[in-house]
Each structure stands twice: as structure tokens, then as C-alpha cells.
Amino acid sequence: MNALIEYRTLVLYAGYALIGLATFILGNMLLSEQENMNASENLRQLDGKKTSNDFVRLTRPFFSQYIVPAIRSKSRFDEARLKYRRKIISGGLKDELTADEFIAFKIMLVMVFPIVGGFVRALDFADIPNYVMLFLPVIGYFYPDFWVNGRIKARHAQVIKSMPFVVDLLALSTEAGLDFIGAIQKVVEKAAPGPFIDEMEQVLKEIKVGSSRSEALREMSFRINLQEVNSFVAVLCSADQMGASIGKVLRQQSDQIRTLRFVRAEKAGALATQKLMFPTFALILPAILIMMLMPFGLQAYMNGGGG
């Protein structure tokens, strides 16, 4: 009886999967000729497009061909496009995903997670409770956000770590007689690769194609979206407008960045101390009390037994 129920469940979820696949295929057939051409062109470009996420690489042909054409140029997604474009750029993923692809990826996972969960449950690979099955679409929808937020956090950490060294090099180069553009070029050539160096290289490219120094720096600030970089760029742009010495400003910024980094390290140390309090009281303190009180307990037990 149980085997029959499990078989019916498997058939039910397989039916759901086939219905979803048929819906997407039918929707693709109903697209206009131009949309089909755009989808085919987009699919041909996928082979040379890199990605750091294996899940995105495996599912990209599906959501790029069937979902992206359905949401492209739709005005109701404009607000989401602006939001996710900023996050994609801040996470260093602008060469991997577009805003439309990111939205399509989220929509696809809303359907994929319940289908996969249903197959896992029907085949007895795991006993997934009903309430978890209900939350699988929500988990699928927010999974891309967790992934991108993690990339942004890791990238920000790398930028903060490299900023003092890069700003020191810029200050030394300008004090040695190079102009600001020449100093950036020297830093890009000599410094170790990293997100901040990549952004400085992009600043050089934008200046070479005609952007002003302030515009290129503000674009870098927008791409990184980090408070320390925003403050650094704001000070440089103000110094540029007022004609102040860039070398002196860079030296001051270097000292300030190191001070902020030291303060951040102190806060992290204090937070680590607070986090250690719970395991100390929950695990270490009971063990110490047992070691201290066990001899007295054994002695009391033996005296009571002898009596």
C-alpha cells in the first residue's frame, strides 16, 4: 500500500514537471519572431560567458532561452532591474549576469526547488516535511539574493583590505612627481590583482575614452558601493575641484583608512569576546563545576553507602 502511494506521488510530481515544461515550451512558441531571434542569439552567446556559480552555469540555457525573452523590456520589472543591476555590479558579476537574467533565475528557482523537493521526497532520498515543501518556493526565490550578497560582502572585505596599501602607493607616486593618472597607472602595474585594482584599471579606461577624473571616480564608487570608497572618492573629487594637492590629500586619506581599519578590528575583537561567552558558560563552566564538585559528591555517596 505504501509503495503504491509513493508511486502515485512520484507520478504526480512528474506530471507537475511535465506541465511546467510544456507551459514554457508553449510560451516560447507563442513569442514573436523577433523575440525568438533574440533568444537564439542570447543562447549562442552563453558558451563564452563565464560564471562563478555552477548552478547558474547548468541552468542558464534554460532560463535564458525561455524566461528572459518573456520578461525583457517589460516595464513592471524596471524597479527590480535597477535594484539587481546595482547588486550585480557591486558583487563583481557584471560580466556573468544581466539584471534580466538574474530575475529570470529567481523565477526559475521558484518552480525548480519544489519540483526537486518533490522528487527527493517521492524517491525516499529524504523525508521532507510538508511545511518545508511549502517554503521551498520562497527559498528558491531568495537563494540568488543570498548568493549575490555573499559575493558583495567578500568583495567589500577584499577592497577594505587592499585600500591602505593602494592609497599609500598613490600618495608615494604623486609625491614623487607623477600626476594622479600616472599614479593610478603605476599602481595598476605594480600592485597585486584584486577587486580594487580592477576598479582602478576601469577608472583609467574611462578617463582614456573621455570621462573626467571626477566622473570616472564617481562611477567606481557606484560600482563598489562601499562607505569607505564613497568617502575616499568624495574627498578626491572635492580636492580636484578646489585645486588642492592630491598627494597631501592621499596621505591624509591613507592615515584615516588605517585608523578606521584599526577601529573595525577592535570592534570585531570585542564582538568575538561576546560570542565566546555563551560556549564558555554553556560548555566549559559546567565541565569545571563537575570536576570541582565530583570528589565531594563521590565522598558523600560513599559515606552514605557505608552508613
Could you read off the pLDDT of 67-104 as tens digits, one per residue? 888 888 788 888 888 889 989 988 888 888 888 999 99
The one-letter code for the residue type at 38 is N
Determine, yes or no, domain membership for 45: yes
Q: What CATH number is attached to the domain comprising 162?
A: 1.20.81
Quote the CA–CA distance of 140 and 114 in Å, as a whole number: 8
Is the whole-model pTM more than 0.85? no
End-to-end C-alpha distance for the chain, whole angstroms: 63
- Interval 203-228 mean pLDDT: 88
Determine, yes or no, domain membership for 30: yes
Q: Spell out the long-range contacts of 25-31 with Cβ–Cβ below 8 A and sequence spacing 24 or more.
A: 25/66, 27/66, 27/70, 28/65, 28/66, 28/69, 31/69, 31/70
Domain that holds residue 198: 156-261
The count of domains in the chain is: 2
In the three-class reduction of DSSP (H, G, I as helix; E, B as strand; rest coil), residue 128 is classed as coil
253 pLDDT band, cuts 50/70/90, is confident
Contacting residues for 285 by C-beta, under 8 A, at least 6 apart: none
What pLDDT is attached to residue 34?
46
Determine, yes or no, domain membership for 134: no
| 26 and 112 inside one domain | yes
User: Using the 8-state DSSP alphabet, how is residue 75 labeled?
Assistant: G
- Interval 245-254 mean pLDDT: 78
| 29 and 110 inside one domain | yes
User: Cell numbers at residue 220, please?
Assistant: 567606481
179 pLDDT band, cuts 50/70/90, is confident
For residue 196, which of 217, 178, 175 has the smallest C-alpha distance? Answer: 217
Q: How many helices (H) and strands (E) does the chain have?
A: 13, 0
| 253 and 161 inside one domain | yes
- Interval 131-143 mean pLDDT: 86
Task: Name the region of 192 (left: φ>0; alpha: ψ -120 to 50; beta: rest).
Answer: beta
Determine, yes or no, domain membership for 66: yes
In the three-class reduction of DSSP (H, G, I as helix; E, B as strand; rest coil), residue 209 is classed as coil
Determine, yes or no, domain membership for 248: yes
For residue 250, which of 150, 166, 170, 306 has the smallest C-alpha distance? Answer: 170
